[in-house]
């Protein structure tokens, strides 16, 4: 079983290397402009290979165990790495942004919403009859609540889903697409495409500073 698992991992690594070489060749050969149709097909093939590895290895959501800021960062990183296996490259969110936002929004996992409801990002719901939620203290009659999750990793998954689908984050998605083409994240531009996440006008700068202060990957 162990030998088969190792073989699966080796197969995935070599497949990824081969596909990456082909993508580079597509950029260089004959023209400096990529064949986007071919490139998309190759990226989809990489993602399909990743899904096969997940299935063959029986990978499961990691436990979100932490006791301090450092272990919270590590736990969040493990969760994101797990989710990235089943998330297409074009839909992924930079890990440093996720960790910083989770830390700031949940006081590094110590807030009441995080400890009692596994809510790391303070995502609200107005569907109080159908969606598990918590009310803010001192505001029991509010028409909204903060969504509860079965696990903290599910909270991260929902945050990524919102960034990928909500109209308010179209600018973020456009910037991400450009960054993927250049191969380099522009964290400042990405964050300024996510200002709708908070009513704090300094939110983007707060997250960017958290990335620097905590030397996030």
The answer on 199 and 103 residing in a single domain is: yes
Average pLDDT over residues 199-209: 97
Instruction: Flag the least confident range among 51-60, 83-92, 127-136, 196-205.
Output: 51-60
pLDDT for the residue numbered 60? 81
Euclidean distance between CA atoms 162 and 5, whole angstroms: 34
Q: Is residue 163 part of a domain?
A: yes
Instruction: Flag the least confident range among 11-15, 179-183, 210-214.
Output: 11-15
The answer on 93 and 19 residing in a single domain is: no
Q: What is the pLDDT of residues 1-58, one digit of tens each?
A: 444 444 445 545 555 555 555 555 545 544 444 444 454 455 555 545 655 655 555 5
pLDDT for the residue numbered 14? 54
pLDDT for the residue numbered 113? 97
Share of the chain above pLDDT 90, in %: 65
Place of tokens 């074009």: 90
The residue out of 11, 37, 57 marking a domain boundary is 57
Instruction: Flag the least confident range among 13-17, 27-31, 158-162, 177-181.
Output: 27-31
Domain that holds residue 164: 69-213
The answer on 39 and 146 residing in a single domain is: no
Instruction: Give the three-state DSSP class for 5.
Output: helix
What sections of the chain are H helices per DSSP? 2-28, 36-57, 69-85, 95-106, 112-117, 152-165, 170-182, 187-191, 203-213
The answer on 74 and 51 residing in a single domain is: no
The answer on 18 and 91 residing in a single domain is: no
Task: Report whether pLDDT(152) > 90.
Answer: yes
96 close to 215: Cβ distance less than 8 angstroms: no
The answer on 123 and 18 residing in a single domain is: no
Per the model's pLDDT, the better-predicted residue between 24 and 148 turns out to be 148
The answer on 93 and 173 residing in a single domain is: yes
Average pLDDT over residues 169-196: 96
Q: What is the pLDDT of residues 96-115, one digit of tens each?
A: 999 999 999 999 999 999 99
Euclidean distance between CA atoms 47 and 86, whole angstroms: 8
User: Structure pTM?
Assistant: 0.75
């Amino acid at each position: 079983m162990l030998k088969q698992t190792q073989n699966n991992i080796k197969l995935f690594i070599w497949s990824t290397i081969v596909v990456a070489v082909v993508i580079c060749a597509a950029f260089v050969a004959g023209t400096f402009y990529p064949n986007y149709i071919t490139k998309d097909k190759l990226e989809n093939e990489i993602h399909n290979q990743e899904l096969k590895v997940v299935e063959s290895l029986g990978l499961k959501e990691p436990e979100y165990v932490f006791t301090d800021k450092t272990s919270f960062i590590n736990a969040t990183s493990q969760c994101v790495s797990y989710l990235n296996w089943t998330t297409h490259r074009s839909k992924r969110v930079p890990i440093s942004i996720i960790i910083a936002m989770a830390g700031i929004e949940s006081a590094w996992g110590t807030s009441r919403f995080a400890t009692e409801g596994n809510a790391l990002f303070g995502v609200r719901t107005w569907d109080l009859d159908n969606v598990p939620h918590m009310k803010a203290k001192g505001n029991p009659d509010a028409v909204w609540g903060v969504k509860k999750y079965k696990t903290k990793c599910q909270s991260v998954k929902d945050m990524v889903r919102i960034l990928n689908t909500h109209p308010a984050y179209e600018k973020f998605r456009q910037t991400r697409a450009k960054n993927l083409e250049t191969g380099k994240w522009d964290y400042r531009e990405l964050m300024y495409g996510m200002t709708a996440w908070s009513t704090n006008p300094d939110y983007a700068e707060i997250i960017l500073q958290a990335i620097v202060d905590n030397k996030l990957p």
